[in-house]
Structure 1
Amino acid sequence: MFNTKLIYRICILNLCLIAILAAIGYLTPRKWGDSSQKNCTVSVQVSNQGIHTEIIVPVKNQYFDWNQYLPITQIGREANYDYKYLSFGWGDRAFMLESPTSATINPVIAFNALFLPTPSTLHVQGYRVFPQDIETKCVKISGKNYRRLVNFLKNTFQLDAAGNKIKISYGYYNTDSFYEAKGSYSILRTCNDWTAEALREAEIDTPLWSTLSSSIMFHLNSGCEGI
């Protein structure tokens, strides 16, 4: 006969252990001490959109011009495409295409996204002025590390046989689109884990456990007031 009280206690202990490990991973940075960089000439923003983070970079600066890599005129539906900033976010394809807000989340799609390896997408949005209606945090990095970040973002695009970016559809608004991306989404590699990987390429500190958007925002050192 099973000892139900013992099983119950073991379950409680396991849950407590998981919660403790998650809290440690949430609060523990990957880099200790002063993580500031030298010759910081580029401002990069990270946006927190609830459960999802994205990276916002200038369309053009002295280190890279996105016009040379991505057809800026084709990102949005609107004719005025004079974007100054681009936002990049990676995630589960079905979830991102069908869930513009948390109120529209399909539980079946959410379950598949978490527990099955599913196709991914890269969300790209253009801004003519820096967005003020979402939570953002800014960090300053060197030109060398900015190029490393750009290379990571570029390498996320899935290309066709001719080397072209593969556009899936327009996005939620008139200023964004979805593109086919490399990699599979799962609970082991979420949208926020992707953001953390990108930030680490630029030597920006991230938490040991980066699944939650709030954990990434918690560890970002705000080095500037805005772009």
Structure 2
Amino acid sequence: MKSIKQTFKIFFEIILAFVILILIYAFSVFGLSKISVNTGVTQKEEVEIFIKTNGVHTDIVVPIKNEIKDWSKEIKFNQTKSKDSLMNYIAIGWGDKGFYLNTPQWSDLKASTAFRAATGLSTSAMHTTFCKSVSESESCKRILVSKENYQKLVIFINDSFQRDSNKKLQCISGRGYAKNDSFYEAKGSYSLFRTCNTWANDALKQANQKAAFWTPYDGGIFCHYQ
């Protein structure tokens, strides 16, 4: 009888600890996301970029080509050159490789994929999408940055790609949602503490733009661009 009570007590303590951890995480998400950084930065408005969300995931949208960086030299997609020349922007995001490749719709999500992503056990990937134009809206915010800060953003994004021994990007062949996008191997692992939105928020920090102190969700970024 005593052993049953002890077992129940241990089980209760484990459940209680788990609930406390969830509450701490939830309060951290809400509280740290509201803390602004880089709010007082003044700069020349020289390069147009965007932050774009699909309601869950945030991409950084940049010009395909300018004097600082020509992304088309390394990032390709399955289109003819004539159509390629019509594209003006490229949306770039970092995320869990399993989510990206195996979960095109939420209905495709498997428990194993979610578990590996939440615990940082899987690898990551970069998703790149070429766009003809970008329109500002509630889910897409326009930002004007200086050339110096854009260079910092370029360095951050470049460093997120995994490269081979010849310093070339490692394209994940045959994978993509459409003809204008592609996937590449990336550095780091996705987890509850480092999500696709954390990556985008860190990119904005590196470029000296408004950002959250820390956030794992898109709202933590966009609340600073109301």
Query: Is 1:152 aligned with 2:156?
Result: yes
Question: Which has a greater percent of helix?
Answer: 2
Unaligned runs of 5+ in 1: 222-227
Which structure: larger Rg? 2
Aligned length: 214
Normalising by the residue count of structure 1, what TM-score does the alignment of the two structures yield? 0.82
| Partner SS for 1:25 | helix
Cα distance per residue 1:126-183 (max 9 Å; x no partner): 0122267992112111110001101111111111111211110331011000001111
Query: Is 1:48 aligned with 2:50?
Result: no
Q: For residue 65 of structure 1, what is the aligned residue in structure 2?
A: 70
**Structure 1 residues 209 and 92, CA, compared in 2 at 3 Å: closer, same or farther?**
same
* Cα offset, 1:36, TM superposition: 4.1
**Partner AA of 1:42 in structure 2:** V
C-alpha distance in structure 1 between counterparts of 2:84 and 2:139, whole Å: 24
C-alpha distance in structure 1 between counterparts of 2:21 and 2:167, whole Å: 48
Output aligned runs, 1:105-184, within 5 Å.
Answer: 105-130=109-134, 135-169=139-173, 170-184=175-189
- Aligned residues: CA RMSD: 2.7
Q: For residue 225 of structure 1, what is the aligned residue in structure 2?
A: none
Normalising by the residue count of structure 2, what TM-score does the alignment of the two structures yield? 0.83
Question: Which has a greater percent of strand?
Answer: 1
Residue pair 2:123, 2:189 contacting (<8 A) in 1 also: yes
C-alpha distance in structure 2 between counterparts of 1:162 and 1:41, whole Å: 33
Cα distance per residue 1:29-58 (max 9 Å; x no partner): 134xx4342211112101111221110001
**Partner AA of 1:128 in structure 2:** K
Residue pair 1:48, 1:214 contacting (<8 A) in 2 also: no
* Cα offset, 1:78, TM superposition: 2.6
Unaligned runs of 5+ in 2: none
**Structure 1 residues 15 and 101, CA, compared in 2 at 3 Å: closer, same or farther?**
closer
| Partner SS for 2:153 | helix
Q: Identical aligned pairs, as a percentage?
A: 29
| Partner SS for 1:109 | helix
